[in-house]
Amino acid sequence: MHQPWDALEAPRFTGPRTFARLPYVRDLADVEAAVFGMPWDGSTSFRSGARFGPESVRSMSAMLRTYNPVQKIQVFGELSTIDYGDAPTVPGYVEDTLERIEAFVRPLAEAGVVGIGIGGDHCATLAELRAYAKVYGPLGLVHLDSHTDLWHEYFGQPYAHGTMFRRAIEEGVLDSDRMIQAGMRGPLYGIEDEQIPDELGVQTIPWVDLAEMSPARFAELARARVGTGPTFFTFDVDFVDAAFCPGTGTPEVAGPTSFEAMKFVRALTGISFVGYDVVEVAPQYDSGQITALFAANVAFEMLTLQRMAVMQKSA
């Protein structure tokens, strides 16, 4: 059982920073969940810096403890979890980088270990999806974000942090019929942007609509959409209002609070997630590391969902 270093033995600010002070391990034996970084910010359309997202999230993840009192779930100590290190990346070469990240994630998919990716710009998610789809086939997607990331291309090039879910559909690694995304807001490039999800067959819930919906209702819609098949859960921190995540590349105002966000996350039980990520943490723009702390807690909620899934399966 891999678990964090005991926080009562030495203060949580001691020791080289791994996620939640978990052991940094590359051997996947006896591992149920693996947290890893995707230090990449080459495909951001506005502010770069997210290559240091994994470092910053690891730093604040020292604040995490082991038990989730809202879900009433013991996470660490029950779910064998490791810090799997960081995927290799190549500054300036998005396509090469995607291949390297995919190759890094593939062993997790093959070993049946659930991964929790920490980003890093959102384009990296495409690499994770490819890795899981190689093993599980086309995936469903639950996607919380302020942007759809379904644009066609940027500046004549195909891979960017605003286009990769369209690429994933085109490549067949995502099944658009099993995709649901929510939280979208902020000005668009034009009215035609509004039709993109429909054209692609994706279900999109803008924030103004989600704001009127209970977490339970949203979770119901998500479960109906993704069904029982293998599904990925991706959380872009710009889903929350900029005041809660200043440390990100393309923040948007007029969005949810961190408490509202967490309620939507906690409601997403009962889905067959094969992988998760929380992305777009850019610490250069953060304030008191609150964005990193928020992302660390999102990852903790994801580990909780995973522990709940394991318990349900063995029940």
Instruction: Report the candidate in 181, 192, 191, 188 with the shortest Cα–Cα distance to residue 148.
Output: 181
Q: Which two tokens stand for residue 191?
A: 């009215």
Structure letter (DSSP) for residue 164: H
CB of 230 to a copy of itself, least distance (A): 28
CB of 157 to a copy of itself, least distance (A): 5
SS3 of residue 110 by DSSP: helix
Q: Which two tokens stand for residue 240?
A: 């929350």
Around Cβ 289, how many Cβ atoms within 10 Å?
Answer: 18
Judged by beta carbon, residue 71 or residue 272, the one nearer a copy of itself is 71
At residue 177, φ and ψ (nearest 5 deg) are: -70, -20
Judged by beta carbon, residue 166 or residue 178, the one nearer a copy of itself is 166
Judged by beta carbon, residue 136 or residue 151, the one nearer a copy of itself is 151
CB of 228 to a copy of itself, least distance (A): 29
How far is 112 from 30, CA to CA, in rounded Å?
11
CB 314 within 8 A of CB 251: no
CB 119 within 8 A of CB 299: no
Judged by beta carbon, residue 18 or residue 231, the one nearer a copy of itself is 18
Judged by beta carbon, residue 188 or residue 309, the one nearer a copy of itself is 188
